[in-house]
Amino acid sequence: MAGVLLLALALAPLSAVAETWQERDDWGEIFRANEASGTLLVVDRRDGAATALVHDGERARQRFVPASTFKIPHTLFALDAGVVEDEFQVFAWDGVEREFPPWNGDQDLRSGMRNSVVWLYQHFARELGEERERDYLARLGYGNAEIGDRLEHFWLEENLLEISAEEQIAFLERLYRNELPFDEADQRLVKDLMVVGAGNDWILRGKTGWSGQLGWWVGWVERPSGPVFFALNMETPNRMADLPKRQGIVAEALRTIEALPPEA
């Protein structure tokens, strides 16, 4: 009977444990030490459990522009529609000099994800078109699924596509389990593109996002005992100077629950 209960908890959607989120005062101290304002939601699925931990639970349910975290589902859209064949296909740089040097060159899916190359995903949006973008968003139930009339900017600008930290984790959990309405091979590829760190017994997969005013860091840590999902969003009044705080805050918080080792 206990085994059945543990299995049920392990498979339970985030909404099923939403009423039992545990507010972490110590994570509030981490935010304050970093002079940051935002939220962090963590869903710990290790050992068959389903524990939701949060700093600022109210904000974790509030929707914000996803910025480049949208590259995760957007890559799935492009693969499914045949806009991109695989991670080896190269897309030629248009020769326009942009603010971030890594954007100024040919790209593939791996470099596009790693360097958050906006122009590459704007190309995907043009190829997909408004109708297919809307259809894919509706199929996923991704945030408010709204794109307005800004085909090349709807995931980058306020008051168009929006998603909450809670919804980010619900989406990531489905991706982790290969349960999204896409080919399993495409889901596995996207997860491979998301790898940003690893050790002997852990793998960190994630994606940053930044709208200019708001920063994101979402993903999960895979451990032998199970995954630990996280979604942080925070204000960035100091703009690029605030961006390293995203990963720093999450790493420090995850170490408090031993989801990441001290050296990670």
Active-site residue numbers?
68
Token readout for 234 is 């925070």
Which H or E element spans position 163? strand 163-164
Residue 238: phi and psi, rounded to 5, are: -95, 15
Query: Rounded to whole angstroms, how far apart are CA atoms 106 and 91?
Result: 6
Q: Which residue from 75, 209, 236, 94 is spatially nearest to 155, judged by alpha carbons? A: 209
40, burial (CB in 10 Å: exposed 0-12, middle 13-18, buried 19+): buried
Q: How many helices (H) and strands (E) does the chain have?
A: 9, 9
Contact criterion met (CB below 8 Å) for 170 and 226? no
CB atoms within 10 A of CB 26: 10
Q: Residue 41: helix, strand or coil by DSSP?
A: strand
The neighbour count for residue 230, using CB atoms within 10 Å, is 27
Distance (Å, whole) CA 168 – CA 250: 15
Contact 143, 167 (CB under 8 A): yes
